[in-house]
Amino acid sequence: MGNEDKKPLADKPVFEEGKQYHIECKPGDLSGPVLLPGDPERAKRIAETWDDFHDVAGHRQYYSYTGKVHDVPISVTSTGIGTPACEIALTELMNIGCDTFIRVGSTGVIQPGIELGDLIINTGAVKMEGSSKYYVPESYPALANYEVVLALIEACESLGFRYHIGIAASSSSFYLGQGRPGYRNYKISKTELIVPDMQKMGVLNFEMEASHIFTLASIFKGRAGAICAVYANRVTNEFGVKGEREAIQAANYAVKVLSEIDKDKREKNKKNWYRNI
């Protein structure tokens, strides 16, 4: 095979050995479920909580590490902010063989009874973003995988963390798209209704990535979930950077639980996991 056969193509920018253009990882570089923070610095902080880890790649906002936690393989790749950045990360991670993903992020809640630093486990998301429409119709649901949700619940229960379960709204806009004022307190009537309408629908929180992560994982037979620390409370109008450490610990523990679920399915030849009665 000549060198010309190894050149990347404009519609598939992949290099030798399957190395992906944006995340700069190739098959075999990452092992185990992949945690997905938006912030590259959070990706490093996550890796530093593991039993051991090593740096794999760092390009633009995509920083990847792999290692072990609770004696099982685990990886992390930062996605940057928003669903366009997530589309790149998820597509290239799936290209190199990854199939289980847990978003580890921050969020703002819109329902009463939730405190700063609490954790939110999302079972699904309202698609208030512009990426999913290129993959699925608007009516296609953005759902978390039930095994990942159960693993996150078990993690929070085992670690004694306060958590809440429900639906997120994934917005491609941080300010007006989540009902906040923009520059010079700019608002329009449409954006004034976003928070009260979502509250009536029982939506728990706003964030910016989960719906597309859930959608892509569903299409391609992967598993995805999300756990976020509450930084903003739109009911009390409080803001504080709290709960990141707990969200990371819960995600790490959930990877351990998922390894046990997968082992149980293999040993008992189960297609779907359920607790033996």
Q: Catalytic residue numbers?
A: 22, 92, 180, 234
Q: Which helix (H) or strand (E) holds 132?
A: none
Tokens found for residue 122: 């999302």
DSSP strand pairing (34-36 vs 100-109) = parallel
Q: Which residue has the tokens 């009536």?
A: 200
Sign of the C-alpha dihedral, residues 44, 50, 53, 57? negative
Say how far apart CA 242 and CA 255 lie, in whole Å: 22
Contacts of range 57-61, beta carbons closer than 8 Å, 24 or more positions apart: 57/23, 57/24, 57/25, 57/29, 58/24, 59/22, 59/23, 59/24, 60/22, 61/85
Q: Which residue has the tokens 């709960």?
A: 243
**3-class state of residue 141 by DSSP:** coil
**3-class state of residue 166 by DSSP:** strand
User: What are the residues whose beta carbons fall under 8 Å from the beta carbon of 239, sequence distance 6 or more?
Assistant: 116, 231, 232, 233
Q: Which helix (H) or strand (E) holds 202?
A: none
Say how far apart CA 207 and CA 172 lie, in whole Å: 9
